[in-house]
Amino acid sequence: MKIAILQTGKTNPAMPDSFQDYPALFTDMFASDPRAAQHSFATVKVFNGEIPRFVDAYNAYIITGSKHGVYDDLPWIAPLMAFIRAAHDADIPMVGVCFGHQIIAHALGGHAAKSDRGWGLGVRRVDLHNHPDWMPADDDIRLIHIHQDQVETLPPGAQLIGSNGFCPNAMFVIGDNVLCVQGHPEFTIAYIDQLMQVRAGVFHPETLEIAQASLEDGHDGARFASWILSFLNAHQHRRATA
């Protein structure tokens, strides 16, 4: 399967050079799962105005996080939303992470906005329910978060599969071709720790202190990465046997 990583932002320029940019974080995340060898990954720099010419140029798409919001007046936002709608209509599987989660919801008829709950920061537990067939019946998952925006309204046809008190719409699917998550499974503990230090001035000190403490027990990014591959394989199997 040819998978395009639709890059909608870059690593904070204040981060040390030892930390990689978003596409490499994703490919590293998948590297520990032997099933990743069945797939190839390419990067499309959407934030630079790139967009695949045809929705079927790739077999699947992963939309990354970004410092931007779906409501920002940027020249690539509207074309990306149009592409999301076209890919969904063509039954091309999509995975949205953080901003990707928000813009897929927004493009398909939901609503994302800056939340009055403030910053979601650090490792947070997401309670799981309504598990799709390809997903283990786990009770919860711990994922890294750094966001102010949230999906406030799910798009039509969406099935909520993960939530918590801070982020009610933390994870959803639409059929078997959309999987979205507010957290960052691709981030590492070292990455988010450094990023919180770089951006410490924008957080309330207590929020930052609690978030830093939450890193001590690690996170389940590798587990979510395995779910992404299961999601993509389930979609591929369904199309092959239809």
pTM, entire model: 0.97
Report the percent of the chain where pLDDT is more than 90: 96
Q: Could you tell me the pLDDT band of residue 32, with boundaries at 50, 70 and 90?
A: confident
Beta bridge partners of 4: 42, 61
Range of the domain at 71: 2-241
- 138: helix, strand or coil: coil
CA-wise closest residue to 26 among 49, 1, 47, 43: 43
Q: What are phi and psi of 104, to 5 degrees?
A: -65, -45
CA distances from 3 to 53, 57, 62, 86, 106 (A): 15, 9, 7, 16, 22
**Domain total in the chain:** 1
User: For the domain that residue 121 is a member of, what is the CATH number?
Assistant: 3.40.50.880
Instruction: List % helix, strand, coil for the chain (3-state, nearest 5).
Output: 35, 25, 40
